[in-house]
């Protein structure tokens, strides 16, 4: 079995590049999109194991994108990743598999992705040895 593939949907270029770099370094295949619509297009081109989805995006926000992703494949796990904890109270976000508040420390994100994969019988890559990147 190959490495799990993550789809990162994030409108902030720096944040998206950080996730791409970090998650690739962690051993995942990563495809990235800068908008909800781009993310939906990526789903048709790639076999994805987990979607990491920002909420506050221009155009199609993450909540609308979540609904469309689940319409496309209601078994695909989506992790909402946002700077705002207030979205947890929006019942539309409850369809997501998990909700992670953005942080400079990506430990919670790594653990959440691994946990979501484990629920589906997919093994997360072994963390790389501690070293300078």
Per-residue pLDDT tens digits for 43-98: 999 999 999 999 988 989 888 999 999 999 999 999 999 876 665 566 566 678 88
This prediction's pTM: 0.89
Q: Look at residue 10 in the predicted model and tell me its pLDDT.
A: 96
DSSP 26: T
Cα–Cα distance, 121 to 16 (Å, whole number) = 27
Contacts of 24 (CB under 8 A, 6+ apart): 30
What number of other Cβ atoms are within 10 A of residue 103's Cβ?
11
């Amino acid at each position: 079995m190959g490495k799990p593939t993550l789809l990162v949907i994030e409108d902030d270029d720096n944040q998206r590049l950080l996730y791409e770099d970090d998650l690739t370094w962690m051993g995942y295949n990563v495809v990235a999109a800068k908008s909800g619509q781009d993310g939906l297009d990526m789903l048709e081109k790639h076999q994805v194991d987990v979607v990491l989805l920002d909420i506050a995006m221009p155009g199609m926000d993450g909540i609308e994108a979540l609904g469309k992703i689940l319409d496309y494949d209601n078994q695909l796990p989506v992790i909402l990743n946002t700077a705002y904890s207030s979205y947890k109270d929006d019942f539309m976000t409850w369809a997501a598999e998990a909700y992670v508040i953005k942080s400079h420390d990506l430990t919670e994100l790594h653990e959440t992705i691994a946990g979501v994969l484990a629920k589906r019988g997919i093994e997360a890559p072994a963390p790389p040895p501690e070293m300078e990147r």
